[in-house]
């Protein structure tokens, strides 16, 4: 589910996170999408290398000295080698690696993600209203209501304010750039377009003090596409590399758990 919300003023915070002489990033939706797509492969390699180095720090020294498996033929003694289940210090290392990645290391990633989200407070909403006027979801309105009834808090908040557009054409008129990009990205997958009737003609929220948490917490994820006019693009531009690295590391941990578990 992807959506855009909230309110405030950001006029003084323009380019808050840009370093000296750094060119402003391309905040167009195509620019954001291309940046994520082009960088992810390299970032994935960076993440994998970083995890490999972490695990090397807990690898035992001279593990095969004194081993009783005299017929062991394992030459490449890396983390994914098929070590025997007992009597092998490197198999113990594999198991310790899973424990480490699922525990202390994951906690480090969580702390890093929290620090990314905390930096959001350096940006303020510029009241463009785009997030209130066009929200998208892979779920239909009926499906969202069903999810809400089953206790999904996000869906509950979502259906408490958003209503579906009557036609896709109406949604397209609101933000043609975003509409076109989504249609290119999702290809055959159906998506549904919504808007909030609580936004007024000055782009202000008429229930600002009572708006739900999905509005207060927007943007919820630094890797989601934001409307081009959204002032939180400055935050997103600053943290997107680190956020992609965290995402890649999280995916790699799952891979390790499956391979070594």
Residues forming contacts to ligand SF4 in the complex (CB under 6 A) are: 4-7, 63-64, 67, 69, 72, 74, 77, 83-84, 88-90, 125-132, 161, 196, 198-199, 205, 207, 211, 215, 218, 227, 229-232
User: In terms of Cα–Cα distance, which of 228, 231, 244, 230 is closest to 179?
Assistant: 228
* Beta carbon of residue 220, minimum distance to ligand SF4 (angstroms, whole number): 11
How many Å apart are CA 113 and CA 107, to the nearest integer?
A: 10
Minimum distance between the CB of residue 221 and ligand SF4, rounded to whole angstroms? 13
Closer by beta carbon to ligand SF4, 1 or else 196: 196
Q: Which is nearer to ligand SF4, 126 or 240 (CB)?
A: 126
Pick 164 or 253: Cβ nearer ligand SF4: 164
DSSP assignment of 136-163:
EESS-HHHHHHHHHTT-HHHHHHHHH-E
Instruction: For ligand SF4, give the closer residue by CB, 45 or 67.
Output: 67
Shortest Å distance, C-beta 13 to ligand SF4: 11
Closest by CA to 126, choosing from 234, 209, 210, is 234
Nearer to ligand SF4, 20 or 76 (CB): 76
CA distances from 179 to 6, 36, 52 (A): 20, 18, 40
CB of 224: closest distance to ligand SF4 in angstroms? 11
Tell me how far, at minimum, the Cβ of 5 lies from ligand SF4, in Å: 5
- Residues forming beta bridges with residue 199, ordered by sequence position: 205
CB count within 10 Å of CB 191 equals 18
Rounded CA gap, 230 and 208, in Å? 18
């Amino acid at each position: 589910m992807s959506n855009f919300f909230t309110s405030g003023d950001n006029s003084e915070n323009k380019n808050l996170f840009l370093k000296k002489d750094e060119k402003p990033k391309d905040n167009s939706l195509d620019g954001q999408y291309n940046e994520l797509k082009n960088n992810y492969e390299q970032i994935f390699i960076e993440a994998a290398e970083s995890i490999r180095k972490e695990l090397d720090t807990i690898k035992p020294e001279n593990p095969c000295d004194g081993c009783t498996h005299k017929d062991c033929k394992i030459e490449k003694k890396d983390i994914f080698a098929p070590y025997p289940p007992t009597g092998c210090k490197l198999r113990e290392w594999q198991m310790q690696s899973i424990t480490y990645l699922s525990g202390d290391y994951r906690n480090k990633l969580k702390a890093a993600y929290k620090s990314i989200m905390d930096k959001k407070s350096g940006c303020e909403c510029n009241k463009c209203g785009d997030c209130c006027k066009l929200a998208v979801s892979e779920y239909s309105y009926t499906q969202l209501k069903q999810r809400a009834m089953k206790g999904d808090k996000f869906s509950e908040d979502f259906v408490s304010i958003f209503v579906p557009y009557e036609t896709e054409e109406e949604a397209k008129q609101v933000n043609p750039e975003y509409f076109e990009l989504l249609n290119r990205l999702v290809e055959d997958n159906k998506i549904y377009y919504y808007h909030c009737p609580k936004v007024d003609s000055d782009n202000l929220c008429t229930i600002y003090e009572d708006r739900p948490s999905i509005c207060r917490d927007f943007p919820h994820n630094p890797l989601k596409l934001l409307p081009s006019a959204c002032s939180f693009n400055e935050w997103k531009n600053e943290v997107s590399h680190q956020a992609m690295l965290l995402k890649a590391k999280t995916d790699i941990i799952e891979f390790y758990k499956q391979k070594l578990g």
